[in-house]
Amino acid sequence: MILYINACVREDSRTDKIARAVLAKCGGAYTELYLPDENLQPLSAERLEKRTRLIEAGDYSDEMFRYAKQFAAADTVVIAAPYWDLSFPALLKLYIENIYVTGIVSEYTADGTPHGLCRAHELIYVTTAGGPYVPDYSFGYIKDLAEHYLGIPETKLIQAEMLDVVGFDPDDIVEKTIAAL
């Protein structure tokens, strides 16, 4: 199963346009999780206490674990997240808080080393930037999380940048990015 995590909020999102071309290239059906429509909840003290209690009991039947289960079961993950304020939208971080569940997406060895439990063999991160793109604060985080904590061996970055800089043709940049897939 391909899981498409869509953190784009604009109807005419250039990031989403490129991501959909990536999905077409992947082929097959996919499940889209449109983050703006999900009722993602932050880990408040109460939710964190409940989650910890359930994890310690080995009980993953609660609805709060559905995103983690869905993510762990995916064969391929495609994330579309525009580059905002030197990172990705806060909705994506909120989603990550909801999926990072010990016992579902990862576990720790006896010496404290994280070991990923996710089925995915690949995570494709799609982003666009109005100016120059610096991957350290967005893709770098996602890549480290995927490879070192979730067990996803391959991460790819698809990016289009300089889309809002005077003198650059944003439509041409997007089309060239899609053509290069």
Write down the pLDDT at residue 135.
Answer: 85
Annotation: CATH topology of 2-179: Rossmann fold (3.40.50)
Taking residues 4-25, what's their average pLDDT?
Answer: 98
Domain ranges of the chain: 2-179
Tens digit of each residue's pLDDT (9 = 90 or more) over 125-160: 999 999 999 888 899 999 999 999 999 999 999 999
The DSSP result for 109-166, as a single string, is: -TTS-EEE----SEEEEEEE-SS---GGGTHHHHHHIIIIII---EEEEEEE--TTST
Tens digit of each residue's pLDDT (9 = 90 or more) over 61-101: 999 999 999 999 999 999 999 999 889 999 999 999 999 99
Tens digit of each residue's pLDDT (9 = 90 or more) over 15-72: 999 999 999 999 999 999 999 999 999 999 999 999 999 999 999 999 999 999 999 9
Using 50, 70 and 90 to split pLDDT, how confident is the model at 7? Answer: very high
The mean pLDDT value of the chain amounts to 97
Reading the block at residue 90, the tokens are 């806060």
